[in-house]
Structure 1
Amino acid sequence: MNKLAATKNLDEIITKVEGARLRISEHHIVKIIGVSKYSTADDVKTLYEAGQRAFGENKVQDLKEKSETLDDLPIEWHFIGTLQKNKINNLIDLNPTLVHSLDSLDLALELNKKLEAKNKKLSALLQINSAYEETKSGVLPENAVEIYKQIIELCPNIILKGVMSIGAHVEDEKVIRDSFKTTKKIYDELVPFGAKYCSMGMSSDFELAIASGSNMIRVGSSLFKE
């Protein structure tokens, strides 16, 4: 990926984000996470040089390899994939800025136990399956607030920073929008409990997500296209 393409892609996304953000409020700030799972460390470096600072990886091994390769750059690394219990220790050692995919109380308890053993803390988002899709992980919307509070109470080494969800995997915009609104409503309920991020929206639907109140989007294909 060349510098020209990287700059053009980033400019296009920022322009769209600005448009969507300003339709809500000039005070509504949206953070862009570049999803680098199908890209090389060189591509990440090129985008970094174009101005993108936060990147997300789906696999612990890929996060390890890229963060070590690009160790000289102050990149903000996020972990956005499904976290398997046998990979928790490896992830903790990489010290990501934010884990987006805490998808159950069970996983939170296991993560907290391993964080305690290493005397470390980790920031995370609770993943919500707001589209009720069997192929997606996450807690169900009706349990989300309760589970969020339980994690705060039972897992002192996890710093919960908000919620994450993936929009409904359908063509119908109304259904996608409804799934985002479900997450946003839960997020609003959790703001008094320290929620800062409502992470929703990907390359195909981030404008819809921002219109529904998202303040963090995860874009891959539209950012890394040649």
Structure 2
Amino acid sequence: MNKKTATRNLDDIITRVEGARLRVSEHHIVKVIGISKYSSSDDVATLYEAGQRAFGENKVQDLREKSEKLDELPIEWHFVGRLQKNKINNLIDLNPSLVQSIDSLELAQEFNKKLEAKGKKINALLQINSAKEDTKAGVMPEDALSTYKEILDTCPNLKLKGVMSIGAHVEDEKIIKESFKTTKKIFDELVPLGAKYCSMGMSSDYELAIACGSNMIRVGSTLFKD
């Protein structure tokens, strides 16, 4: 991907995000995370030059390779994939800005234990399976508040900063919207406990997610298209 294409893609997304956020409120700020799992380090560097600063990876190994290759760039790296317990130490060593996929109390407690052993702290989001789909990870909406509070109480080294969810995997926009609204309602109840980020919306549905209150979107294919 060349600089011209990267700039065009980023400008297009920023224009759409601006339109969507202003329909919510002129004070509503949305952070864009570029999901680079199918893209090269060179493409990430090109988008960085075009102005994109935060990128997310789904696999610990890919995050390691790209962050090491692009070490000279002060990129804000996010981990957004499903995390296996045996990869936690490797991820901690990479020191990502935000781990968006804490999908259970058990994972949080294991993560906290390994963070304590290393004397480190990491920011994270609790993943909610708001559409209640078998193919998705995350805590069920009815358990989200209690799980979030228990992680706050029992995992001092894992610093919860909000919630993440993936919109319902269906064609019906009304159902997708309901899944986003479910997550936003939970997020609103967690704001008094320090929640800052409601991460929802991807390339196919980020405008709808913003309309439902998302303040962090994760876009890959629309940002990295040739």
**1:51 lines up with 2:18 in the alignment:** no
Give, in whole Å, the separation in 1 of the partners of 2:9 and 2:170.
25
Amino acid at match of 1:114: K
Amino acid at match of 2:138: G
Q: Which residue of 1 aligns with 2:150?
A: 150
- With structure 1 as the length reference, what TM-score do the two structures score? 1.00
Q: Which residue of 1 aligns with 2:115?
A: 115
Q: Which residue of 2 aligns with 1:164?
A: 164
Q: Deviations over 1:73-127 (max 9, x none)?
A: 0000000000100000000000000000000000000000000000000000000
The secondary structure found in structure 1 opposite 2:138 is coil
Amino acid at match of 2:89: N
Give, in whole Å, the separation in 1 of the partners of 2:177 and 2:99.
24
Give, in whole Å, the separation in 1 of the partners of 2:51 and 2:20.
20
Superposition deviation, residue 137 in structure 1: 0.2
Amino acid at match of 1:129: N
The secondary structure found in structure 2 opposite 1:78 is strand
**Pairwise mapping of residues 1-226 of structure 1 onto structure 2 (< 5 A)?**
1-226=1-226
The secondary structure found in structure 1 opposite 2:63 is helix
Give, in whole Å, the separation in 1 of the partners of 2:156 and 2:164.
20
The secondary structure found in structure 2 opposite 1:162 is strand
* Percent identity between the two aligned chains: 79
Superposition deviation, residue 169 in structure 1: 0.3
Amino acid at match of 2:94: L
Give, in whole Å, the separation in 2 of the partners of 1:68 and 1:106.
30
The secondary structure found in structure 2 opposite 1:217 is strand
Superposition deviation, residue 50 in structure 1: 0.2
Amino acid at match of 1:33: I
The secondary structure found in structure 2 opposite 1:33 is strand
Superposition deviation, residue 152 in structure 1: 0.3
Q: Deviations over 1:126-146 (max 9, x none)?
A: 000000000000000000000
Amino acid at match of 2:185: K
The secondary structure found in structure 1 opposite 2:56 is strand
Q: Tell me, which stretches of 5 or more residues in structure 1 are unaligned?
A: none
Give, in whole Å, the separation in 2 of the partners of 1:151 and 1:15.
37
- With structure 2 as the length reference, what TM-score do the two structures score? 1.00
**Divergent runs of 4+, >4 A:** none
Amino acid at match of 2:68: E
Q: Tell me, which stretches of 5 or more residues in structure 2 are unaligned?
A: none
Superposition deviation, residue 47 in structure 1: 0.1
RMSD of aligned residue pairs (Cα, Å) = 0.2
The secondary structure found in structure 1 opposite 2:129 is coil
The secondary structure found in structure 2 opposite 1:34 is strand
Amino acid at match of 1:26: E
Superposition deviation, residue 221 in structure 1: 0.1
